Amino acid sequence: MREIVLDTETTGFDPRGGDRMVEIGCIELENLTPTGRTFHTLINPGRIIGPEVVRVHGITNEKVKDAPRFADIADDLHAFIADAPVVAHNAGFDRNFVNFELEAAGRPIIADDRWIDTLQLAQKRFPGMANSLDALCKRFKVSLVERTLHGALIDARLLSSVYLELKGGRERALDLSSPEIARARTEVGQSAHGDRPRPLAARSTPAERARHAAFLKTTLADTSLWARLASDLAD
């Protein structure tokens, strides 16, 4: 199943109050595993990024002055997401910004029922506990080494690992009942040489077996296991 993990960085909290996206990052998953395909870009918000927000994500006005406007990347974003479900942490926040910008650019919005909120998944699994992305990374032992500031693509990568754990962990990713595994097991079970005979034919010659039996009689009692086995093979 194809899914898209998405994260955004913005100038604030409310697109209808004038805040805009400054970065978007997406990672493609296939059966909960990253495929290596990503979509990532800075976005010129057309407004000043306040210093209090810069301290969170490190994206300055200088960094985005030559970046594209959202309308310039809307078609590429739509093509990357296509009809896949979209996974986001506190999905309502990202959904509000993405759909506001898509609507403003005259593009179709992403329907609410296509969004998967990992915050809600975490709250059901860990009620009453801290369920921020940082907290979940620490709980699931997902490394935060590369994350010094918030960043859309970095956070999407972290979230893809957290999402795998929330959906059942690495054991789920290695599900032996998946169609791919079932097909592989069928192919392995098929042999061009047919079934092996039971019991297998002896590889030694009658003369070799007779010499072995004679040797055993000189070293072991006739009632020993080896003696009985040699007698059976000689017959």
Enumerate the β-bridge partners of residue 23.
9, 42
pLDDT of residue 150: 81
Distance CA 214, CA 227 (A): 9
| Tens of each residue's pLDDT in the chain, 235 residues | 999 999 999 999 999 999 999 999 999 999 999 999 999 999 999 999 999 999 999 999 999 999 999 999 999 999 999 999 999 999 999 999 999 999 999 999 999 999 999 999 999 999 999 999 999 999 999 999 877 778 999 999 999 999 999 999 865 545 555 555 555 555 545 545 556 566 667 778 888 888 877 777 776 555 566 566 656 655 5
Structure confidence by residue, pLDDT tens digits, 106-136? 999 999 999 999 999 999 999 999 999 999 9
Catalytic, out of 40, 57, 78, 150:
150
Residues 6+ apart with CB under 8 A from 24: 6, 7, 8, 9, 39, 40, 41, 43, 73, 77, 98, 152
Task: Give Cα separations from 69 to 11, 80, 98, 118, 141 (angstroms).
Answer: 14, 17, 13, 28, 37
Instruction: Judge whether 213 and 234 are in contact, CB under 8 Å.
Output: yes
Q: pTM value?
A: 0.72
Tokens of 96: 């509000």
pLDDT of residue 234: 56
Q: Is 150 a catalytic residue?
A: yes
